Chain A
Amino acid sequence: MEASTLAITILWSLLFVYSILGSLDFGAGFWGMIYGKNEEKSASQIANRFLSPTWEVTNVFLVIFVVSVVTFFPFATTLLSNVLLVPVGLGVLLLTIRTTFMVFQHHADRYKDLLRLTSGFTGLIIPALLVSILPITLGGFVSFENDYPRLQYGELLTHPTLYMHILFGLSTELFISAIFLMDYAKEAEDWNAYDTFRKHSLWLGPVSIAIAMLTIGTFPGEASWIVDNIQEHWVAFGLSLLFFIIGYAFLFIRKKDGRRGLARPAVIMVGLQYAVAIYAYGAAHLPYLIYPDITIAEGFTNPDTFYQMLIVYAVGFGILIPAFFLFWRLFLKDRRYLKQE
């Protein structure tokens, strides 16, 4: 494999991890807000119990992603940062508000409602800002003034594809988090929360698929290159759809105790669905980082530096795997944590 292709593959893998972790994180914030006040309180507790120990780890993956983009593709930073200054800047601003308020909520119970609202709303706005980067890379929204790249806000904000991308991001986020929290509630044997999240998974699943397909239809005219590439990768997208159908079917299977839904297999299938879809989309996006201005080969760092970075990655994750295992045991598996009052 070309070094630059390897680099972009790692980047897409990190993007995959962050989009799953981020969906869980932001989605849990949203569900925590929805169910914070009313009788279905246990759904909110489950969401918050998941959120408390995990947001830090999720946040680090965002940072890994950003640092990897600029260190793997340093020659793309000038273009990327000029074009993305405002959406990304606003994104981290809101993320800061969200992170701090979420943590403060545990320490100032009198202000819980305000704090919970903040973390719920930012749980929708931040992902919306982040997915708005995707249409920008497709072409047609960047122009050059004296060699200097500028984002065409007017065109972007009036183009339907922006709003379809945002809808796509939100429906995906809510679907992934609902189906995962359903499984988490099962571990905690909280059947009330389980039913709530199952109910939401049922309608969000088909909706998210439908929106994904409609979004492709709204791609700007300049993006015909990627539409062609997507059609070439139809096998992969078909496979992704198949995983979705299987996972969705698992939600209906009745178990011995009379409960419907095989939570864990369904989560795994949905995970596979998104993994395949993200890699297929990534492959269709090649060779461009931003069409038509920069390709991955043009943005790539020198290969020697890159291979040293690879070693750092290998060693780093090698050290971390036992730590992640301990983490998983303590927060995603340990009944004493899951079932506490």
Chain B
Amino acid sequence: MDIVVMARALFGTSLGFHIIYATIGVGLPVMIIIAEVLHFIKKDPDYALMAKRWTKGFAILLAVSIASGTIVGVMISLLFPDFMEIVGQVIALPFQMEIFAFLIEAVFMSIYLYAADRLPPTLRLVSIISVALGATASAILITDVHAWMNTPAGFNITPDGEVTDVNTWAAFFNPSFGVTAIHVTLSAYMTVAFLVASIAALRLMRRKITKAERAYHKKALTIALYFGALMSLATAINGHETAQMLHEYNPRKLAAAEGLFETQRYAPLSVGGYTSLEDQRVKYAVEIPYGLSFLAGDRLDTEVMGLNEWPEELWPPLYVHILFNVMVGIGTVLILIAFIALFWKHVLKKEFPSWLLATLVVSGPLAMLAIEAGWCFSCIGRQPWTINEVLRTDEAATKSNSVGFLFYLFMTLYITLLFVTGFVMRYYFKRNPVRKDLDAREA
């Protein structure tokens, strides 16, 4: 493989790995806050136990999230130096602010983890809220850089590559920042809610389980379902706005997402299938008439641009249509699952049947898959540009011939770490099952 491809693959995989842990790092503190607050209101010790056990899991995952974050932070400079040269002049602020967000998170996380028993309850709540604020702020700030890459603003560039007229705040508040930041935050919250639901559902499917355990897991599942339902709905509504942002600022990406070749009004939305270059259309898709026009502009007669407006070498890979569909499809399915489960609980007032529990078990991994698909869509859909219409990826990437060697090393690392974290989580929670904690409380 050539060096540029290797550099892209190495960076993409590193981010894909980081995002798994980072997403949990953004969402889980919020779940812990909810449990802490419920404990504060209801005085039910189950919620305190929940907060404690989630914090343990969080501590294990946080190590990987920080370590892999350090990797991507260093790697972005190493692998895309010409990109960072522009970033340093134009959009350095969010990068720097992000670090202070990390510091806040790191300091308060240590306090919450290692000093919880020495703190009064209010200070404990303040600590975990600071953790959540730090994590969300860091996600929003790094997303700002990403948003700026999609809709660059706040500078001019001369033909020989010199950056002039820098306006840092115009770059900071670039056109897609708002919607994108909200989308990333909401989707992270929703993903963690479904992950928690997955684990609770998995436990509830066990036959040998005491009454106290059942009550405990049901409470966890209820929190997760409410929060998940709310967040998935919000994600979808905001996703609609994100698509409209694309329509306005990045029509090439929207055209690729929908496999639309000819510019047209009353454009249909193609669900599923794959984009065929020869046939210039999406094959094997279900077409919703006028759907795309409506998605893009809230009107059936909105004109949507097709890929043929651009020369073919400026098209992103056509498979981004699949990535986009995976994200949107999973988003829709998860909304349904959450609301069906809540309907079962509150309207039918019945126990969850095992098919529903089994569906809930897969909901968390599905949400994570949607996150991965969404990011890959967003980054790959920007190709061949790294900074949209400013800097091409092959210009931005390093030319160092050591990339290949590092690529294999890091792949090995990621695969190993995925297994090792899984193993440590299992090992720890097997040795410290809920029952043990519940029994300890009884005694």
- Does B118 contact A330, Cβ atoms closer than 8 Å? yes
CB of A305 closer than 8 Å to a CB of B: yes
Question: Is the CB–CB distance between B413 and A302 below 8 Å?
Answer: no
B107 touches A95 (CB 8 A): no
**B409-428 interface code vs A (CB 8 A; 1 in, 0 out):** 11001000100110010011
Select which of A56, A74, A96 is within 8 A of B87 by beta carbon.
A74
Nearest chain A CB to B58's CB is how many angstroms away? 11
Q: Which residues of B contact A301 (CB under 8 A)?
A: 88-89, 92
Contact B428 A74 (CB under 8 A): no
B67 adjacent to A100 (CB under 8 Å): yes
- Count residues of chain B with CB under 8 A from any CB of chain A: 67
For window 78-109 of chain A, which residues contact chain B by CB distance below 8 Å?
Answer: 78, 80-82, 84-86, 88-90, 92-93, 95-97, 99-100, 102-104, 106-108
- B90 an interface residue at 8 Å Cβ cutoff? yes
Which of B71, B78, B107 lies in contact with A327, CB distance below 8 A?
B107
Quote the shortest CB–CB distance from A184 to chain B (angstroms): 15
Interface presence of A53 (CB below 8 A): yes
- Stretch in A39-47, A136-144, A281-289, A313-321 touching the partner: A313-321
Given contacts A86-B402, A103-B59, contact A66 B74 (CB under 8 A): yes
| A113, chain B: closest CB distance, angstroms | 15
Cβ of A52 under 8 Å from chain B? yes
- Given A67-B73, A337-B118; A326-B111 close (CB under 8 Å): yes
Which one, A95, A150, A305, contacts B92 given CB within 8 A?
Answer: A305
Asked whether any CB of chain A lies closer than 8 Å to the CB of B280, the reply is no
Q: Bits for A323-341, please: 1 = Cβ < 8 Å to B, else 0.
A: 1101100110010110000
Is A236 at the interface (CB under 8 A from chain B)? no
Q: A85-B400, A93-B409 are in contact. Are A100 and B421 (CB under 8 A)?
A: yes
Using Cβ atoms and an 8 Å threshold, which residues of chain B touch A330?
Answer: 111, 114-115, 118
Contact check, A309 vs B92: say whether CB atoms are below 8 A apart. yes
A196 at the interface (CB under 8 A from B): no
Nearest CB of A to B255, in Å: 33
How many residues of A are counted as interface, with CB atoms below 8 angstroms from the partner's CB atoms?
A: 69
Asked if B89 and A302 sit within 8 Å, CB to CB, the answer is yes
Q: Is B95 in the interface zone, CB < 8 Å from A?
A: yes
Give B409's nearest chain A residue, CB to CB: A93
Chain B residues lying within 8 Å of A103, measured Cβ to Cβ, are 59-60, 62-63
B81 pairs with A71, CB closer than 8 A: no
Counting CB contacts under 8 A, is B391 at the interface? no
Interface flag for B84 (CB, 8 Å): yes
Contacts of A84 in B (CB 8 A): 78
Q: Is A294 an interface residue when CB atoms closer than 8 A count as contact? A: no
Q: What is the distance, in angstroms, from B96's C-beta to the closest C-beta of chain A?
A: 5
Nearest CB in chain B: distance from A160 CB, A: 24
Complexed CA–CA distance, A326 and B118 (Å): 12
- B254-279: CB near A (< 8 Å → 1, else 0) gives 00000000000000000000000000
Contact call A148/B59, Cβ cutoff below 8 A: no
Q: CA–CA, A59 to B85, complex, Å?
A: 24
Asked whether B67 lies within 8 Å of A74 as measured between CB atoms, the reply is: no
Q: Does A1 contact B (CB under 8 A)?
A: no
Query: Which chain A residue shows the least CB distance to B61?
Result: A103
Q: Which of A75, A81, A324, A336 has its CB near the most chain B CB atoms (within 10 A)?
A: A81
How far, in whole Å, are A150 and B398 apart by their CA atoms in the complex?
12
B76-87 CB mask vs A (1 if < 8 Å, else 0) is 011101101111
- Distance in angstroms from A187 CB to nearest chain B CB is 16
Chain A minimum-CB-distance residue to B107: A323
Q: Does B103 make an interface contact (CB < 8 A)? A: yes
Q: Does A64 contact B (CB under 8 A)?
A: yes
Instruction: Tell me the nearest residue of chain B to A73, going by C-beta.
Output: B88
User: A77-B84, A304-B166, A326-B111 in contact; A85/B63 too (CB < 8 A)?
Assistant: no
Q: Which residue of A lies closest to B115 (CB)?
A: A330
Q: Does A63 contact B (CB under 8 A)?
A: yes
Contact of B88 among A71, A88, A100 (CB under 8 A): A71
In the complex, A213→B159 CA distance in Å? 50
Cβ contact of A85, chosen from B100, B106, B398, B410, cutoff 8 A: B398
Whether, in the assembled complex, A60 has its beta carbon less than 8 Å from a beta carbon of chain B, the answer is: yes
Given contacts A53-B114, A59-B70, A67-B73, A320 and B107 within 8 Å (CB-CB)? yes
Chain A residue nearest to B88 in the complex (CB): A74
B234 proximal to A (CB < 8 A): no
A3 at interface, CB cutoff 8 A: no
A55 to chain B, nearest CB (A): 9
Roughly how many angstroms separate A308 CA and B168 CA in the complex, as a whole number? 8
Are B81 and A81 in contact, with the CB atoms below 8 A? yes
Give the distance in Å from the alpha carbon of A88 to the alpha carbon of B85 in the complex. Answer: 18
Q: When chains A and B are docked, how far (Å) is the Cα of A84 from the Cα of B81?
A: 12
Contacts of B81 in A (CB 8 A): 77-78, 80-82
Does residue B244 face the partner (Cβ distance < 8 Å to A)? no
Q: Which residues of A contact B322 (CB under 8 A)?
A: none
Q: Tell me the bound Cα distance from A27 to B216 in angstroms.
A: 43
Bound-state CA distance A302–B379 (Å) is 28
Closest to A304 in B: B166
| A88 and B67 contact, CB distance less than 8 A | no
Interface string of B100-130 (1 = CB under 8 A from A): 1011101111110111001000000000001
Using CB atoms, name the residue of chain A closest to B127.
A326
Q: Which residues of A contact B106 (CB under 8 A)?
A: 56-57, 59-60
**CA separation between A26 and B338, bound complex, in Å?**
47
Indicate if the CB atoms of B97 and A53 lie closer than 8 Å.
no
Say whether, besides A57-B107, A337-B115, A104 and B78 are in contact (CB < 8 Å): no
Residues of chain A lying within 8 A (CB to CB) of residue B405: 86
Partner of A104, one of B60, B77, B102, B107: B60
Is the beta-carbon distance between A88 and B78 smaller than 8 angstroms? Answer: yes
The answer to the question of B99 belonging to the interface, with a C-beta cut-off of 8 Å to chain A, is: yes
Q: Hey, which bits of chain A sit against chain B, CB under 8 A?
A: 52-54, 56-57, 59-60, 62-64, 66-75, 77-78, 80-82, 84-86, 88-90, 92-93, 95-97, 99-100, 102-104, 106-108, 110, 148, 150, 301-302, 304-305, 308-309, 312-313, 315-317, 319-320, 323-324, 326-327, 330-331, 334, 336-337
Interface residues of B (CB under 8 A from A): 56, 59-60, 62-64, 66-71, 73-75, 77-79, 81-82, 84-90, 92-93, 95-97, 99-100, 102-104, 106-111, 113-115, 118, 130, 163, 166, 168, 398-400, 402-403, 405-406, 409-410, 413, 417, 420-421, 424, 427-428
Q: Which 6 A-B pairs have the closest CB atoms?
A: A74-B88, A316-B100, A103-B63, A71-B92, A56-B106, A53-B110
Extra pairs beyond A74-B86, A85-B403, A86-B405 (13, CB < 8 Å):
A53-B114, A57-B107, A71-B95, A75-B85, A78-B81, A81-B400, A82-B81, A86-B402, A89-B402, A92-B70, A302-B163, A304-B166, A304-B168
What are 14 A-B contacts defined by CB distance under 8 Å?
Answer: A57-B107, A59-B67, A70-B84, A74-B89, A81-B77, A85-B78, A93-B410, A96-B67, A99-B70, A107-B60, A302-B163, A308-B168, A309-B96, A337-B118
